[in-house]
Amino acid sequence: MAKDNLLGGSLWDAYSNKVTTLMNNPQHQGEITEEEAAAHGNKLIVADFGAESCGDAVRLYWEINPETDVIENAKFKSFGCGTAIASSDVMTELCMGKTVDEAVKITNIDVEKALRDDPDTPAVPPQKMHCSVMAYDVIKKAAGLYKGVDAESFEEDIIVCECARVSLSTLQEVIRLNDLKTIEEITDYTKAGGFCKSCIKPGGHEEREYYLVDILADTRRQMDEEKLAAAADAGALGDFEHMTLVQQIKAIDAVIDESVRQFLVMDGGNMEVIDIKSSDDNIDVYIRYLGACNGCASSTTGTLYAIESTLKEKLSQKIRVLPI
């Protein structure tokens, strides 16, 4: 089938050759009957899953050896678009020869990557990523039927971005560890929100329980509250000199976040603590300026004095701040 007969121009080019081939010539489409499975001494599992957002549906047939739990044969029927057919075909192929426990670990990302012509080029446009998600969900459904458990029991965490399989805990951890402040940064780090975009904010093609905008706001608020609490605790301790190195760095970061960093960021810069070295007379705090602050004339005069004065006031009069 000629590409121009189905989709116009650049959109059709967003599909890999493997996807377009399997759309029209799937290798594992069909069904397995109870009689066929029984003839091989195997158990037949038939699982159905439908995507409410697009109306597509897939039926998955597993022929499982009950002694080894190995999926010895698999077929599918797909009721939907060509991408759903291609995704279901690859999903079925990935299942064969695996145990049920191994198959349930197959993700939608595995399916999408198996559809690529080369490792670095996505197989489908972002708005069609949900088709591989449907393939992942029907695997869970089949495994649940075989084991006699709910399909959701295979999900260890709350999934926020179905397309990239990014969990709530992962998003919260990445925001904290990397001090992320924008949705674009979250997408760069995790791929969440980079495909169908429904998880970014309300109003996408599929309603979600959790949205990136809310997770970012809530996590940032918690981080700010924790920093203020840490700064308060540091001030209450009144014994900065006897803290461990890790405690000292956390106390300094808390004070900087509370009183200094916002002004550096406003000017396009920032700073980070590199090291702390203590002697009988001084506690030398080595810092590195980032962004616009790096090389700025005031970074060694007024700005440096402001940072040092704030740390002296909040933590210890023995502090000296030294840029490197």
- 305: DSSP letter: H
- Give Cα separations from 83 to 51, 146, 231, 281 (angstroms): 13, 27, 53, 70
Closest CA to 2 of 26, 20, 27: 20
- Give Cα separations from 274 to 176, 240, 248, 321 (angstroms): 19, 17, 12, 11
54 a catalytic residue: yes
Helix or strand holding residue 74 (H, E): strand 71-79
Helix or strand holding residue 36 (H, E): helix 34-39
> At CB < 8 A and 24+ separation, what contacts does 115-122 make?
115/16, 115/18, 115/19, 115/22, 115/86, 115/87, 115/90, 116/16, 116/18, 117/16, 117/17, 117/18, 121/16, 122/14, 122/16
Give the pairing of strands 159-161 and 71-79: unpaired
3-state secondary structure of 275: strand
Catalytic residue among 131, 196, 199, 293: 131
81 a catalytic residue: no
Q: What positions carry a catalytic annotation?
A: 54, 131
